Chains A and B, each alone.
Chain A
Amino acid sequence: MIREGYLNGLVLLGFLAVPLWALIADEPFTITLATRAAILALAAVGLNIALGIGGLVSLGHAAFFGLGGYAMGILAFHAQTFAPLELGPVTITGTKSMPVIWGVAVIVSALAAWVIGLLSLRTTGVYFIMITLAFGQMFFYFAISWGAYGGEDGLSIYVRNGFPGLNTLVPIQFFGVAFVALCVALVLQWRLRASPFGLALNAARQSPARAEAVGLNPFRLRLAAFVISGAITGLAGALFADLNRFVSPTMFSWQLSGELIILIIIGGVGRLTGPVVGAALFVALEHWLGGLTEFWLIWLGVILLLIVLFARGGVIGLLTGKAGPHV
């Protein structure tokens, strides 16, 4: 058994060691896999704030992931075609600058999370799960039928967007960008959980009635958590689109929302580095089992069933010997 604090440090060091080893061994594909894991982990860290601390089982986080992706896709598309985007009286020229794109992705997905949260947080339990699923589908079908940005076929961006001072086309440099973003999100979640806001949110998850009795407003706490959560997942979406240099409606698909929850469950719900462990294992499994058999998803399903039925705290729970928070 190991203290969770040390384990978190080990997880991050291990996560950093793999691409550094790959750099020395000249295995650029492994670096790309690590980048993919870092970005998926970032998306799941976002979801973990709503799910792990707030107890909000959102099956629609692909909406924010996709919005982040399309924020990147649309801005970069207008930059590469040199056609300004006309929104009524405002004209926006596209951009290939990552920081600007990230800002837009975060703002757009935070706004969407605010509206979706305002509507769906009126419900609880199963209704909440299903209404978030439905909002995700709403965006999915909208993206499919909106032909201006590729519709069902998606949108290709030919050159990866730039970050001042870096060459993002070099795999290890882009991994660095994604890893730093992941660490910033982890520090944010860590500080958040210990802050008065995080404690109040935790209390509202454990017992809404008591939280209300001491003067807290569970609805506003949950809404704030949902907005922060959506914004982080949106940022991950922008990075993911940049990794693939491609956006398509599958970024909005409900399977993706399900996968984000899976990442959290594999690692451990509400654990700080749970999503990181989950994403690393998921990408490794996908690569390893995917190489062995075309039908690797069957084995993922079996592993997942075993975790749900027999290993409730996920990997971090197994290693620390402590059960996770009850959601």
Chain B
Amino acid sequence: MSAILIIEQVLNGLQFGVMLFLMAAGLTLIFGVMGLINLAHGSLYMVGAFAAAWVAGATGSFVLALGAALAAAAVAGALVEMLVIRRLYKAAHLDQVLATFALILIFSEGTRWVFGSFPLFLDVPAALSGPTTLPGGIQYPKYRLALILIGLAVAVGLWWLTARTRIGIQIRAGENDREMIAALGVDISKLYTLVFALGAALAGLAGALVGAIQSVQVGMGEPVLILAFVVIVIGGIGSIRGAFVGAILVGLTDTLGGIFLPELFKLFMEPGAATQTGSALASMSVYILMSAVLIWRPTGLFGARA
């Protein structure tokens, strides 16, 4: 096992991690500010991917496709918030789980109705296709590198938004005491719609970006959604910093586990059994990581509230 392979896999893990962060950041913001568990977040990821694939197919422009993904997911998010989610803020978690589960059914089957069951394809833009050479002579796909950079840029942007802007102050205040900021004259329901649309746009962006390296199909959102839940549980629900740390940890564990665990087991088992045991364990590794974190800290790494 060479150093180059290890560095490549670490980069792959990072790339997966920052994309998970885009999903997890929205989920954790929505939970932190509105106290809502949104199972339909994966549907917004799918909406972004489909909007991008459709616009890219019609215009051939990847930039337009990304814009469409952001817009479509944000609009879908704002609509869903105003029509359904708004009524659930005071409801029990069980009702939130069910209503957003119902939204998944509506979104998934609605998309299947419009676009059919066959996957769509979204091509990597020409300027970013092919590999690039990193210092040390490592060949790595340009597009995946771009994903890492975009993810990091979004993370910095989100930090700036929440820590340095007026809207960020309102969001943080909303997490602490929603009655108080409403009393101070902030239109709380507009703020909620805005936060929900922001989270949805991030999910849509992730869907479009990942859609170019995987296929765009109905049901693509749910596996990512569940991993994003694992991320925010590890990081502590409501914490953007926690979501970032959790996302990188989960991305690296998932990618490196899949490659190295079978190799590790080959050291003391016969190859066939080692591959099977290793890959079975690797597919569970993320969840084992989560249980370990929760046993150690029941509210996650950076979580304050239960």
Contact = CB atoms under 8 A, between A and B. Distances in A.
A327 B37 CA distance: 15
A45 B106 CA distance: 27
A59 interface: yes
A241 interface: no
A145 B279 contact: yes
A134 B109 contact: no
Interface in B92-123: 92-95, 97-99, 101-106, 108-110, 112-113
Nearest to B292: A119
B283 A304 contact: no
A126 B31 contact: yes
A123 B298 CA distance: 6
A97 interface: no
Contacts of A144: 283
Given A127-B237, A135-B287, A304-B101, A142 B93 contact: no
B113 A295 contact: yes
A166 B237 CA distance: 53
Nearest to B104: A301
A252 B203 CA distance: 26
Contacts of B94: 51, 57, 261, 265, 269, 327
Contacts of A123: 294, 298-299, 306
Interface residues of A, number: 46
A124 interface: yes
Contacts of A124: 306
Contacts of A258: 97, 101
Given A127-B237, A127-B294, A305 B93 contact: no
A142 B284 contact: yes
Interface string A47-90: 00001000001010000000000000000000000000000000
B295 interface: yes
Interface residues of B, number: 47
A326 B97 CA distance: 15
Given A127-B298, A261-B97, A308-B98, A301 B103 contact: yes
Interface string A288-324: 0000000111101110110011001000000000000
A140 to B, nearest CB: 9
B87 interface: yes
Contact of A309 (B87, B110, B237): B87
Contact of B106 (A134, A138, A298): A298
B9 interface: no
Given A119-B294, A122-B294, A122-B295, A308 B99 contact: yes
Contacts of B279: 145
A228 B103 CA distance: 31
A147 B279 CA distance: 10
A211 interface: no
Contact of B283 (A51, A141, A269, A295): A141
Contacts of A175: none
Contact of B280 (A127, A145, A301, A309): A145
A146 B281 CA distance: 10
Given A125-B93, A308-B99, A134 B229 contact: yes
Contact of B93 (A126, A148, A296): A126
B237 A137 contact: no
Nearest to B278: A145
A281 interface: no
B233 interface: yes
Contacts of A304: 98-99, 101-102, 105
B288 interface: yes
Residue among A142, A301, A326, A327 with most chain B CB within 10 A:
A301
A130 interface: yes
A262 B283 contact: no
Contacts of B102: 300-302, 304-305, 308
Contacts of A262: 98, 101
Contacts of A133: 226, 229
B84 interface: yes
B133 to A, nearest CB: 35
Contact of B298 (A122, A135, A296, A308): A122
A130 B227 CA distance: 10
Interface in A99-133: 119-120, 122-127, 129-131, 133
Given A130-B233, A145-B283, A265-B98, 16 more contacts: A119-B291, A123-B294, A127-B233, A127-B299, A134-B230, A134-B291, A135-B287, A142-B280, A142-B284, A145-B280, A145-B282, A254-B222, A258-B101, A301-B105, A304-B99, A308-B98
5 contacts: A57-B93, A127-B298, A127-B300, A261-B98, A297-B108
Please name the 10 residue pairs, one residue from A and one from B, whose CB atoms are nearest each other, closest first.
A301-B105, A141-B283, A304-B102, A301-B106, A138-B287, A301-B102, A298-B109, A145-B280, A305-B102, A308-B99
Interface of A: 51, 57, 59, 119-120, 122-127, 129-131, 133-135, 137-138, 141-142, 144-148, 254, 258, 261-262, 265, 269, 295-298, 300-302, 304-305, 308-309, 312, 326-327
